[in-house]
Chain A
């Protein structure tokens, strides 16, 4: 029987980060292999978005120590050394908890710019407006998004749920190797959670990986993670399989510290 050797995509070692002088991530260690989905759960304020922001390169967060190695195209990159846009072009994607609204910038124009920026880096052919439109419409259909959305100004006037769908639409179009999804399920009703979750699940391949940050268990009914971690006060206090998420659902976060 062939032994499947895990291929690391992301190694986080001893990561410590501050915001406004407060330490919000402490000695965080996490390894994500290709083909894996990791769920990170934790109460409000535990540092989930901070972790996402540090990985994406948000300058609001100051990395005090630690290393983040990102493996791509046969190279091990020091992720923290890369500019925000370079990380994205190397295949890192963050679905924002609170996506930015930009009036006047059409979703489609924006996404084609992003798509072509990512493609040119990865040696794929850029698409002209018409071909890109086909791709975009197909992805929007899968997410059951109204066609009109993709031509509307980026997130401007979108409801909370529409913004989340739009984040997933971007993920579907950009096909990242590492997707960090920050509470992509919040603000969605149960039907929408299912549609969004199924789309995300359909994007899983053996080459990519996802870090699914969530507050609630319900999205995990549609996406089964290999690993679940509990983040509390900036530390991973428990890790386990998908059953851990179920236990949290039943027992809350309180008990997890003592495990």
Chain B
């Protein structure tokens, strides 16, 4: 007999919902509505526009559970991700375990989401209901994560690091996290969000981070996705920018068997700047899917979007980027550039760059390239004594170099080093 996997997921959802009875009524209602929408929806297929290149069937066939036992996570297990200067909040298998590293300055509130909910610091509107099949699951099931609020004018000198580690306990289970970041007027914050897998077994990790950058504020988010080899990872970043604010995003997608990242940024008031960078490095049979939508809803906004991908073996890299400049967004300056490097013939990239421009007084450009590793480049390096593996490493490094320049968080350099060294091992 064939089990309907979707039914199986529904059973999982019912179980997850049963845990939410002590929550405030508004949240229970929020989840109930999400569940209703989710049930009314059929899972996306290759015919769905947003999932054209990403087949989630294998995920739908997985039987998922929730983590029940207690996770053990010694700090040594995730030490390679750390930087001593950072304030770290550590989660194991979706559950908060500890805080370590540097202290946070005055004017910064950093608490677990449940705490922010029960204290009334968070309301339904800040949670923002989703339309996406997997992110709706997050709406229904999320039960941990961080709420950060930086008061007006407060500038953090060191990054805040949210580390989500999935241990052997994660195998066969689903984890949901929700982070909400509020950067006040003229405030500055740097956040690193790492997802790190210690198991090669399959599991599902669905993460969502919502960022609001107040007027003249400056927020940088580095997302480092290094899940285990069997992981399904679905992440969303939703950003809203006020006047003259700055939002810098750097996504590094490296791990997982299937990883999808949806970014959506809205510039709500004039003069906002968005620096958007994505790097994906796919090998073996990985599918790394990246979607980004940037909406300029006010005048004089700027966006610089840079995407670099490298794929090898039979991996697939996907980038669908859309920059929207409606009529009201005059004097927008937006630039999108995607460059891909492919090893061999069996890997592939699918690129869909889009600019939707209705305003007439704008400067917008986009470009996309895909090329195979050049034999002439490898030869030149070989004539200098550099062996093939090292030469390929140097060329990969060269390919991503532009992304690694002037990083919004300087210490994020270590993630580049880590993935590039590992990618061609």
Contact = CB atoms under 8 A, between A and B. Distances in A.
Contacts of A56: 383
Interface in A55-71: 56-59
B46 interface: no
Given A58-B379, A84-B379, A96-B380, A102 B395 contact: yes
A91 to B, nearest CB: 9
Give the interface centre of A93, A109, A114, A170 by most chain B CB atoms within 10 Å.
A114
B385 interface: yes
Contact of B384 (A59, A83, A174): A174
Interface string B370-392: 00000011011111111110110
Nearest to B376: A100
B401 A104 contact: yes
A109 B394 contact: yes
A57 B394 contact: no
B398 A117 contact: no
B337 to A, nearest CB: 13
A99 interface: yes
Interface in B384-422: 384-388, 390-391, 394-395, 397-402
A89 to B, nearest CB: 4
B81 to A, nearest CB: 24
Given A96-B380, A104-B402, A117-B390, A89 B397 contact: no
A58 B379 CA distance: 7
Interface in B64-103: none
A84 B383 contact: yes
Contacts of A117: 384-387, 390
A96 B377 CA distance: 13
B398 A85 contact: no
Contact of A174 (B380, B385, B391, B400): B385
Contacts of B400: 104
Nearest to B384: A114
B377 A113 contact: no
A117 B381 CA distance: 11
Contact of B383 (A57, A104, A106, A109): A57
Interface residues of B, number: 22
B390 A104 contact: no
Contact of A84 (B382, B390, B402): B382
Nearest to B393: A113
Contacts of B380: 96, 99-100, 102
Nearest to B399: A104
B398 A104 contact: yes
Contacts of A100: 376-377, 379-380
B388 to A, nearest CB: 7
Nearest to B401: A104
A118 interface: yes
A170 B402 contact: no
Interface string B197-229: 000000000000000000000000000000000
B401 A88 contact: no
Interface string B119-134: 0000000000000000
A113 B400 CA distance: 18
B413 to A, nearest CB: 14
A30 interface: no
A96 B380 CA distance: 9
A221 B386 CA distance: 34
Contacts of A114: 381, 384-386
Given A58-B379, A100-B376, A105 B384 contact: no
B59 to A, nearest CB: 35
Contacts of B385: 85, 88-89, 114, 117-118, 121, 174
A103 interface: yes
B361 to A, nearest CB: 32
Given A104-B398, A104-B401, A105-B398, A85 B382 contact: yes
A110 B394 contact: yes
A113 B383 contact: no
Contacts of B382: 57, 83-85, 88
**Which of A104, A109, A153 gathers the greatest number of chain B CB atoms within 10 Å?**
A104
A213 B21 CA distance: 83
Contacts of A174: 384-385
Contacts of A59: 379
A104 B388 CA distance: 18
A105 to B, nearest CB: 4
Contact of A88 (B376, B383, B388, B399): B383
A94 interface: yes
Contacts of B384: 85, 88, 93, 110-111, 113-114, 117-118, 170, 174
Contacts of B401: 104-106, 153
A28 B27 CA distance: 85
Given A84-B382, A100-B376, A100-B377, A153 B398 contact: yes
Interface of B: 376-377, 379-388, 390-391, 394-395, 397-402
13 contacts: A85-B388, A88-B382, A93-B383, A102-B377, A104-B397, A105-B395, A105-B397, A113-B381, A113-B394, A118-B385, A121-B385, A153-B398, A153-B401
Given A87-B383, A104-B402, A114-B386, 15 more contacts: A84-B379, A85-B387, A85-B388, A100-B376, A100-B380, A102-B377, A105-B394, A106-B401, A109-B394, A110-B384, A111-B384, A113-B381, A113-B386, A117-B390, A174-B385
Closest 10 CB pairs between A and B?
A: A104-B398, A114-B384, A88-B385, A105-B398, A104-B401, A84-B382, A100-B380, A117-B385, A85-B382, A89-B385
